[in-house]
Amino acid sequence: MTCLIVDDEPLARQLLESYVSRIPELKHLKSCSHAIDAFTCLQENSVDLIFLDIEMPKTSGIELLRSLKDKPRVIFTTAYREYAFEAYDLDVVDYMLKPISFDRFLRGIGKIRQLKQYKTSGIETEQTPSYHDAFLYLKENREMIKVYMKDILYIESLRDYIRVKTLKQDVVTYQRISYLEQKLPQDKFVRVHRSFIVALDKVNSFSSDSMRVGSHEIPLGRNYKNAALKVIKQQSVVQTN
């Protein structure tokens, strides 16, 4: 696999170059210090995999990725946790947090191999590996709590706070529900009320004014009802065909 490394930090580029050199199946094409150089390289060369930083001057890694029509496989390499939602929405293979150890690097390459095996064998899964593994850290009091997106039942607005209800726990954190609405994958979650976002695969039943998520009854807001019910019905058609 031909690899492109994009990072504005020289030491980060050197570290990834050393890791790539230790994997026989990886061929290092070029290292770029900014997104514009990387964009030019991608127009002129065939690239199978990008190790892509997010926070870079002028153009971010996310902006670069959104600008590409034919996207290669991408592994984000970043010091920031808060872009995990965008990463899933962009269908990246992995999200590595700096400092990146060689063991963590190998796990990312393992995900690439796994995806290649799925493609070769024709196997398709209902949940892609990237969503199955996607998580976020929510700050409750002074503790950072790890929450897997696949475990979320619903999110409830509490003015300037939100309650994230999962299969295992409730987490209350200082955040606006509108922020999470923009970041959550639209094919997995839907806003059904001014105060509620629900996970589509956790909806057990619904009526004209409410729905049941697990053992919880969630109201349908007048301004959200039509769009929410349309999405839920479309999901049921997809899953039963």
What are 61-90's pLDDT values in tens digits? 999 999 998 889 999 999 988 887 777 778
Q: Among 89, 121, 153, which residue terminates a domain?
A: 121
Q: Are residues 33 and 65 in the same domain?
A: yes
In this structure, what CATH number is given to the domain that contains residue 184? 2.40.50.1020
Q: How far apart are CA 142 and CA 169, in angstroms?
A: 17
Q: State the distance between the two ends of the chain, measured CA to CA, in whole angstroms.
A: 36
pLDDT at 39 over 70: yes
Q: Among 92, 121, 150, which residue terminates a domain?
A: 121
The C-alpha angle with vertex 96 and arms to 125 and 120, in degrees rounded to 5, equals 30
Q: Are residues 77 and 103 in the same domain?
A: yes
Pairing of strands 170-174, 161-166: antiparallel
Q: Are residues 49 and 144 in the same domain?
A: no
pLDDT at 14 over 70: yes
- Residue partners of 13: CB distance under 8 A and separation at least 6: 5, 7, 31, 33
Q: Are residues 114 and 141 in the same domain?
A: no
Query: Is 128 inside any structural domain?
Result: no
Which range among 87-91, 136-140, 143-147 shows the weakest confidence by mean pLDDT? 87-91
pLDDT at 118 over 50: no
pLDDT (average), residues 121-131: 44
C-alpha closest to that of 199 among 124, 123, 147, 159: 147
Q: Are residues 43 and 116 in the same domain?
A: yes
pLDDT at 215 over 60: yes
The more confidently predicted of residues 231 and 216 is 216
Query: Is 142 inside any structural domain?
Result: yes
C-alpha closest to that of 6 among 39, 44, 48, 46: 39
Q: Are residues 18 and 116 in the same domain?
A: yes
Average pLDDT over the chain, rounded to an integer: 86
Q: Are residues 174 and 232 in the same domain?
A: yes
Q: Among 121, 143, 160, which residue terminates a domain?
A: 121
Query: Is 151 inside any structural domain?
Result: yes
Q: Are residues 81 and 140 in the same domain?
A: no
Q: Are residues 21 and 94 in the same domain?
A: yes
Q: Are residues 141 and 115 in the same domain?
A: no
Q: Are residues 75 and 145 in the same domain?
A: no
Q: What's the 3-state SS for the chain?
A: CEEEEECCCHHHHHHHHHHHHCCCCCEEEEEECCHHHHHHHHHHCCCCEEEECCCCCCCCHHHHHHHCCCCCEEEEEECCHHHHHHHHHCCCCEEEECCCCHHHHHHHHHHHHHHHHHHHHCCCCCCCHHHHHCEEEEEECCEEEEEEHHHEEEEEEECCEEEEEECCCEEEEECCHHHHHHHCCCCCEEEEECCEEEEHHHEEEECCCEEEECCEEEECCCCCHHHHHHHHHHHHHHHHC
Query: Is 127 inside any structural domain?
Result: no
Which range among 45-59, 144-158, 207-221, 222-236 shows the weakest confidence by mean pLDDT? 222-236
Predicted pLDDT at 235? 67
**CB distance 87 to 66 below 8 Å:** no
Query: Is 64 inside any structural domain?
Result: yes
Q: Are residues 61 and 146 in the same domain?
A: no
Query: Is 71 inside any structural domain?
Result: yes
Helix pair 102-121, 10-21: axis angle to 10 deg? 60
- Parent domain of 185: 135-240
Number of domains in the chain: 2
Omega prior to 99 cis, within 30 of 0: yes
Q: What percent of the chain has pLDDT over 90?
A: 52
pLDDT at 168 over 50: yes
Query: Is 116 inside any structural domain?
Result: yes
Query: Is 62 inside any structural domain?
Result: yes
> At 11, is the pLDDT very low, low, confident or very high (cuts 50, 70, 90)?
very high
Beta-carbon count within 10 A of 47 CB: 19
Predicted pLDDT at 61? 94
CA distances from 118 to 125, 150, 217 (A): 9, 21, 38
In this structure, what CATH number is given to the domain that contains residue 95? 3.40.50.2300
